Structure 1
Amino acid sequence: MDLPIDVFSAAFLIALLKIIWVNILLSGDNAVVIALAARNLAPDQQKRAIIFGSGAAIVLRVVLTLFAVQLLQLPWLKLLGAAALLWIGIQLLADNDDDADVKASSSVWVAIRTILIADLVMSLDNVIAVAAAANSAPENVRVLLLVIGLGLSIPLIIFGSTLLLKLMERFPAIITVGAALLGFVAGEMATTDAAVHDWFETHMHGLDYAVSITGAVFVVAIGLLLARRGKSGPA
């Protein structure tokens, strides 16, 4: 007997495993930006920013995934997202923690806002992979798959960002590596935009990786430059 939603079918379970695996692979950059955005907060505020930021990011990703195919067909969208991600990476690296405790109450919401903006940008690439995994299942269970699969990724992101925060306290160089990762992702995003992808395939084939590395170097160079200026500037 056919059920309206067969959650025990092989197609459903295989698609669910695909979504969970995709989220494990793609949650690393999201955990990085959450940890970077929350690193200057007090410990109790870090937990609040991570929980609220991660939860809101997952809801945002579910909504984005439902419209992933239509969104990613729009030209220039990924290029705009890449530019925004470069800016976020630079700001996170250039951020000076000397005044971290001055505005503690409002900093939580600033961190959450940063997390949401960055996750919105980075999720444009992530959601297409999740949508593709869901498409292997019957159409009447795809929305349920997205909600379950993406919901399961919440603890992955929370655990990852919490672990990164602890590592950043011991190894500050991780902050630079995290900002470089955001620049690398921005480069990847830019070369796959619908407006320039065919041009890259025709004239710049094989240089996608070089663009991503350039994005990482650009974020680190500008971010460190701004950080040094902030330290040497007037008190």
Structure 2
Amino acid sequence: MTDYLLSLLQIIMINLVLSGDNAVVIALACRNLSPELQKKATFWGSFGAIGLRIILTFIAIWLLKIPFVQVVGGLLLIWIAVKLLKGEDEDSHIGGGASFVEALKTIIFADLIMSLDNVIAVAGAANGNLILVIIGLTISIPLIIWGSQLLMKLMNRFPIIVLLGAALLGYTAGEMIVGDKAVGSFLEGVMPSLHMILPVALAILVIVIGNYLKRKEKNALNKEVTNNHAETL
């Protein structure tokens, strides 16, 4: 029962951490609509996006049962976690919809593209349990629609939330890798305690790599600004 609740909490946290950008997409897509249409577009766009996400998650769960797919998913999740720490902006190109239908299409399409990371993470955390996915999404979606903008503000104010979120993804990636049918049994034969060590190690690794790349990118940007300033003098 404890494992069940922990997995459920993991799914909810992953949804909240990875879905912050989706709320921004909704706001950007609806910003040119009237207040009445904004509410309708937000509701129906979110409803359509949720349906697609559930279908994709079920497909991902089925795929993750195939040997080596969980390893690939875990490695992809590490990349997603590092990207989250680097703070790459995925939604800067989303334009505002001039009509209700256009805004609706923008929300659903953007959510489909941006939710691939979410789908992989949730499928990995659920460990093949469809009921967990349904309960987790049912609890998470209302929080995502109405609370993710608040979460984004908190992330900007308290960077530790982003750090913990990225670490959670790294931990989930480790669980996916050791849970793979082919690789997991091999790793357990090499070192039985690896199923406990690897998730923690990857959580730490994600934080180290993410922070390193973020500092490197910041230093490169500062150097470029300094060079440009020197050229203008």
Runs of 4+ in 1 over 6 A off after TM superposition: 19-22, 108-111, 146-149
- Give me the TM-score of the superposition, normalised by structure 1: 0.64
Matches within 5 A, 1:83-162: 83-95=75-87, 103=93, 105=95, 112=111, 115-131=114-130, 133=131, 150-151=137-138, 153-159=140-146, 161-162=148-149
What are the ranges of 5 or more consecutive residues in structure 1 without an aligned counterpart? 1-18, 135-145
CA distance in 2, matches of 1:199, 1:218: 22
Q: CA offsets per residue over residues 105-124 of structure 1, 9 Å max, x none?
A: 39x98974664121121132
Which residue of the partner structure matches residue 32 of structure 1? 17
Structure 2: state its 5+ residue gaps.
32-41, 97-105, 226-233
Is residue 27–residue 156 contact of structure 1 (8 Å, CA) maintained in 2? Answer: no
Pairs aligned (count)? 198
**Identity between Structure 1 and Structure 2 (%):** 30
- 1:77 Cα offset (Å): 0.6
**Partners of 2:152 and 2:111 in 1: how far apart?**
15
Alignment partner for residue 76 of structure 1, among 64, 68, 81?
A: 68
**Residue in 2 aligned with 1:45?**
28
Shift in Å at residue 187 of structure 1? 0.9
Q: Which residue of 1 aligns with 2:217?
A: 230
Superposed CA RMSD in Å reads: 4.1
Residue pair 1:184, 1:215 contacting (<8 A) in 2 also: yes
TM-score (norm 2): 0.65
The whole-number CA distance in structure 2 between the counterparts of 1:43 and 1:229 is: 32
Q: 1:211 to 1:152 in 2, by over 3 A?
A: closer
Q: Distance in 1 between matches of 2:88 and 2:136?
A: 37
